[in-house]
């Protein structure tokens, strides 16, 4: 019996038992905290494995390979010396061997272990009825690093041993069968040689290990660099309190749209928006607990009645947790409608949105509905989700600052200069078809701006990802510069979105990453 220590446990291994016709190896698990021992039998027989439904990668790969052979596929068991087992099947359609991992439900993604799980590979051997094969090169883009770790024997001796075993396996085959296999061997050798010279595609995102208990995967360091769990992040999952941001953006969208539809000129529009800004600034300067503002002009104030139309400002007031009332004598009062805290966090968002709107209208050569989105109309903003990031700066650079709608806040990743990520999961798993997203540069340090990034969507809460957009060599001209990016591949419903920022503007000058805001816009249903 031997023992193998893990996190808060000791595995007691190596007892052979036999239960009737069922050969097994019995593992025992003893918790180092409470000393309770749990028996974990490992059955070598596939039928017994299906009966018990308890096993590790070796048993499941054995079972899956049996299934493949039963259905007539040429299959071989793949043994990874860093402790994993999977299957390869030969595809006559593709003319090559395909990677199949039954444990993690992944196929034809041979870089899964090196790129997703973060394994430092050494030897990967294919075991078939007609021979054994060194297929390591199929599973790596770091062949020279792998070579430095292959120290069991020299490469020529390893190759000779595998060749001798293969010849022994083929002794009973006809000369025609041997020639056919040798042709296939040469074709595979040429394919594997090409693999070690192939360039890695950094746009491909592969997950960390999915099978096995989380604690076990943590102990093995197989969560992967893009793992979405808490264990691979330097910060906790945080909930976005930003429903008011969506409501404010929607209200501005309706307001400006109404102005344009009714033919109000550009100059008059800017005057209206500046008047609204003055009103909100005056409100912000009033007392927090009893916030209110009396409008001397009464209901005929130019904000509420322009060119014989009534502007739809009530939805904006509602988004700010405000309301308007009429005093004795006909004067209008803007006052609190709900919790004063809601108004306090919403007013800065509205003022920043107003500044963006005024700036955008000022810069427009033409002023019409067709020119408003992007970047002016911002309806259907996704809100109230949860956020997980690769890291954050406390207290002023937390991950949720990317979604709070305020200029002066930002998400800052101290170690994100050469790569970082942030994941947004929708509230209650709601599915959205992402139509566009908007990024805004932060308040300072242009060298920390994102330059290259990939946006991905997931329909299963973050287990698997599809690329929605990819941008390279992007530049933000100034601070608080908002840029809108349309999603070309609409129709992919997602309940989680991941931004993988690959590089900042000047990674030599800084190790940090920062972004002022991220806004996600769903397609109208």
Is the pLDDT score of 388 beyond 50? yes
Under DSSP, the state recorded for 164 is: H
Q: So what's the pLDDT on residue 165? A: 96
Is the pLDDT score of 20 beyond 80? no
CA distance 230 to 221: 14
Q: So what's the pLDDT on residue 422? A: 95
272's enclosing H/E stretch is helix 266-284
Q: 33: pLDDT confidence band, cut at 50, 70 and 90?
A: low
Q: So what's the pLDDT on residue 12? A: 46
Q: So what's the pLDDT on residue 125? A: 97
Q: Which residues, in sequence order, are CB contacts of 173 under 8 Å at separation 6+?
A: 130, 181
Query: What does the pLDDT average to over 129-138?
Result: 95
Q: pLDDT, tens digit, for every residue of 258-286?
A: 877 777 788 888 888 888 899 899 999 99
Q: So what's the pLDDT on residue 228? A: 42
Q: How many CB atoms lie within 10 A of CB 289?
A: 9
514's enclosing H/E stretch is strand 513-515
CA distance 267 to 372: 16
Query: What does the pLDDT average to over 98-123?
Result: 89
In which order are the strands placed within the sheet that holds 450-458?
Answer: 238-239, 386-389, 420-425, 496-504, 450-458, 466-471
Name the 3-class secondary structure at 112.
helix
Q: 32: pLDDT confidence band, cut at 50, 70 and 90?
A: low
Q: So what's the pLDDT on residue 16? A: 45
Are the C-beta atoms of 60 and 101 separated by less than 8 Å?
Answer: no
Is beta strand 309-310 parallel, antiparallel or unpaired with respect to 411-413? unpaired
Please compute Rg for the chain using Cα positions: 31
Q: So what's the pLDDT on residue 315? A: 87
Q: So what's the pLDDT on residue 38? A: 73
Q: 455: pLDDT confidence band, cut at 50, 70 and 90?
A: very high
Name the 3-class secondary structure at 243.
helix
Residues with active-site annotation: 57, 84, 101
Q: 517: pLDDT confidence band, cut at 50, 70 and 90?
A: very high
Query: What does the pLDDT average to over 44-58?
Result: 76
Runs of H (alpha helix) within 7-142: 46-52, 57-70
Q: 225: pLDDT confidence band, cut at 50, 70 and 90?
A: low
Over pLDDT 70: what percentage of the chain?
82
Q: Where are the beta strands (DSSP E) in 286-444?
A: 292-295, 305-306, 309-310, 322-326, 332-336, 386-389, 411-413, 420-425, 432-440
Under DSSP, the state recorded for 185 is: H
Query: What does the pLDDT average to over 205-225?
Result: 71
Q: Write the burial class of residue 381 (CB in 10 Å: 0-12 exposed, 13-18 middle, 19+ buried).
A: buried
Check residues 35 and 17 and name the one with the higher pLDDT: 35
CA distance 349 to 316: 12
Is the pLDDT score of 359 beyond 70? yes
Query: What does the pLDDT average to over 395-407?
Result: 92
The pLDDT mean for the chain works out to: 83
Which of 12-16, 146-150, 364-368 has the highest mean predicted lDDT (pLDDT)?
Answer: 146-150
CA atoms within 13 A on the CB side of 397: 20
Cα separations in angstroms, 345 against 59, 406, 494:
56, 9, 29
CA distance 254 to 265: 17
Please name which of 473, 454, 452, 451 lies closest in space to residue 465, comparing C-alpha atoms: 454
Q: Which two tokens stand for residue 38?
A: 């749990």
Check residues 211 and 469 and name the one with the higher pLDDT: 469
Under DSSP, the state recorded for 524 is: P
Q: pLDDT, tens digit, for every residue of 282-328?
A: 999 999 888 998 876 544 555 655 444 566 788 889 999 999 888 77
Is beta strand 386-389 parallel, antiparallel or unpaired with respect to 493-494? unpaired
Beta bridge partners of 27: 40
Name the 3-class secondary structure at 79.
strand
């Amino acid at each position: 019996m031997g023992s193998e220590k893990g996190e808060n446990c000791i595995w007691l291994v190596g007892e052979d038992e036999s239960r009737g016709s069922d050969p097994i190896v019995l593992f025992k698990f003893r918790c180092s905290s409470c000393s309770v021992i749990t028996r974990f039998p490992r059955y070598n027989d596939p039928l017994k494995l299906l009966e018990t439904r308890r096993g590790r990668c070796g048993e499941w790969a054995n079972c899956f390979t049996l299934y493949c052979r039963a259905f007539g596929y040429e299959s071989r068991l793949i043994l990874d010396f860093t402790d994993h087992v999977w299957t390869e099947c030969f595809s006559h359609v593709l003319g090559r061997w395909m990677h199949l991992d039954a444990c993690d439900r992944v196929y034809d993604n041979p870089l899964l272990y090196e790129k997703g799980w973060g394994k430092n590979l050494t030897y990967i051997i294919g075991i078939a009825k007609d021979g054994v094969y060194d297929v390591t090169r199929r599973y790596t883009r770091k062949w020279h690093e792998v070579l430095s770790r292959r120290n069991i024997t020299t490469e020529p001796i390893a190759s000779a041993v595998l060749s001798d075993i293969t010849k022994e396996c083929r002794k009973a085959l006809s000369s025609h069968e041997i020639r056919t296999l040798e042709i296939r061997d040469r074709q595979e050798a040429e394919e594997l040689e090409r693999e070690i010279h192939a360039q890695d595609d950094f746009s491909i995102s592969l997950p960390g290990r999915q099978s096995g208990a989380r604690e076990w995967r943590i102990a093995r360091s197989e969560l992967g660099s893009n793992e979405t769990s808490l264990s691979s992040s330097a910060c906790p999952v945080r909930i976005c309190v930003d429903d008011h941001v969506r409501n404010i953006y929607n209200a501005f969208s309706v307001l400006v749209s109404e102005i344009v539809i009714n033919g109000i000129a550009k100059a008059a529009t800017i005057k209206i928006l500046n008047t609204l800004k003055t009103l909100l600034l005056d409100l912000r300067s009033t007392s927090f607990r009893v916030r209110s503002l009396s409008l001397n002009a009464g209901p005929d104030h130019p904000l509420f009645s322009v060119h014989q139309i009534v502007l739809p400002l009530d939805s904006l007031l509602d988004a700010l947790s405000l309301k308007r009332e009429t005093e004795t004598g006909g004067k209008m009062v803007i006052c609190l409608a709900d919790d004063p805290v809601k108004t306090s966090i919403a007013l800065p968002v509205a003022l920043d949105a107003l500044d963006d709107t005024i700036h955008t209208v000022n810069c427009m050569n033409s002023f019409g509905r067709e020119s408003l989105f992007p970047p002016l109309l911002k309806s259907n903003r996704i809100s109230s989700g949860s956020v997980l990031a690769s890291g954050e700066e406390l207290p002023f650079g937390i991950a949720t600052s990317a979604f709070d709608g305020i200029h002066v806040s930002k998400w800052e990743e101290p170690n994100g200069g050469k790569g970082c990520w942030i994941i947004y999961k929708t509230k209650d798993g709601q599915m959205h078809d992402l139509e566009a997203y908007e990024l805004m540069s932060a308040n300072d340090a242009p060298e920390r701006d994102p330059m290259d990034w990939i946006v991905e969507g997931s329909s299963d809460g973050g287990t698997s990802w599809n690329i929605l957009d990819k941008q390279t060599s992007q530049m933000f001209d100034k601070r608080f510069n908002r840029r809108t990016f349309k999603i070309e591949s609409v129709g992919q419903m997602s309940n989680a979105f991941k931004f993988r920022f690959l590089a900042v503007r000047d990674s030599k000058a800084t190790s940090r990453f920062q972004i002022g805001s991220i806004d996600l816009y769903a397609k109208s249903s």
